[in-house]
Structure 1
Amino acid sequence: MLVYIFRGPGRVFGVTADATGANLPARFAPWVSFKSVELSRDKPNPGVDPGECLDDIAKYGFHITDAHVRITDQVV
């Protein structure tokens, strides 16, 4: 799945399938586009657990980390 990574304040990052990042939580705005990557459950990706990330995107529409630690459940 092609996902878009956005940087928030400090070491907060948001990952979403929405190229605009419009569905990312306003709490960490402004979001700045960082990069896009093809994410797959069977391929490791530095800085993000692909399984957790894809599960969060399926459930919430986004995945949020702070210093590479998942905090999605704290912001929904």
Structure 2
Amino acid sequence: MLVHIFRGPGRVFGVTQDEGGTNLPEQFASWAYLKSAELDRERAMPGIDSRECIDDIAEHGFHITDAHVRVTHRMI
């Protein structure tokens, strides 16, 4: 799955399939694009739990972490 990774304030990161990050929560705007990457359930990505990330994107359209801790559920 091709994902796009954005940085919010502090240590907040957002991951989404939306190239522009327009579906990321406003409370952490402004989002700065970092990079795009292929995400695979079986392959580790530094700072991101691939399985949680893919599940969150499937359910909510995005995955949010704060200091590498999943906080997506707080955004819904």
Instruction: State how 1:49-64 maps to structure 2 within 5 Å.
Output: 49-64=49-64
In the superposition, the TM-score normalised over structure 2's length comes to: 0.98
- Indicate whether 1:37 and 2:60 are aligned: no
How far is 1:11 from its partner? 0.2
Please list every run of 5 or more consecutive structure 1 residues that lacks an aligned counterpart in the other structure: none
Q: 1:31 and 1:64 mapped to 2: Cα distance?
A: 12
Partner of 2:10, secondary structure, is coil
- Indicate whether 1:11 and 2:11 are aligned: yes
What are the superposed Cα offsets for residues 2-40 of structure 1, whole Å, 9 maximum, x if unpaired? 000000000000000000000000000000001111000
How far is 1:70 from its partner? 0.1
Partner of 1:58, secondary structure, is helix
Match of 1:47 in 2: 47
Q: 1:27 and 1:19 mapped to 2: Cα distance?
A: 19
Q: Which runs of 4+ in 1 moved over 6 A?
A: none
Please list every run of 5 or more consecutive structure 2 residues that lacks an aligned counterpart in the other structure: none
How far is 1:75 from its partner? 1.0
Aligned residues: 76
Q: Share of identical aligned residues, percent?
A: 63
Match of 2:27 in 1: 27
